[in-house]
Amino acid sequence: MRSSGRGRKTAFQNRAVNRKEVKPSGQEPRVLTTMRLRRSLRKDLEATAARTRRSVADVAQELLDEALRMRQCPGIYFADEPSGRTAKIGGTGLGVWEVVRDFSRDQNSGRIRKAFPQLSQAQVTAALMYYSRYRDEVQAKIDTNAALTPESIERQYPGLVQFTR
């Protein structure tokens, strides 16, 4: 009868746990992790990886990260945008960054509700909760969008924007 191997690690496993892959651009280092997946789940990961031209590990990392964030901040989901994956407020299509953009200093939920009357208090709370946990990410989205002026778009894509005076 085979032992389950629980509670014991081989020398290889100990080395693997201590070996970290360092990612560029200041991202958190990755730790080698092994897990058993249902065959259908693995096939779905592989299909998504092939469709998006990424590795299975990158797809799994993104999905796990988003799932944990959605559990921490109920009412938030993630969607693909031209600028990448974006945290959105459930039932609205609005990005978290769009709602907190003008209120990030004081985070006054009453002012947000006045500016976005279609949002419920629960939706505003979800946006503010996500912002408080992932401030740097949301602020980066705000800054990126603030930099998109007609002039900057004209410089990047000549002829796309025409100014009328």
* CATH class of residue range 73-157: mainly alpha
Strands 20-21 and 76-81: unpaired
Residues 6+ apart with CB under 8 A from 67: none
Token pair, residue 82, equals: 């031209």
Parse the chain into domains and list their residue ranges: 34-72, 73-157
Token pair, residue 135, equals: 């401030």
* pLDDT tens per residue across span 64-77: 999 999 999 999 99
Residue written as token pair 């958190």: 28
* pLDDT tens per residue across span 2-58: 445 554 444 444 444 443 343 444 578 989 989 999 999 999 999 999 999 999 999
Q: What is the pTM of this model?
A: 0.73
* pLDDT tens per residue across span 84-125: 899 999 999 999 999 998 787 667 788 888 889 999 999 999
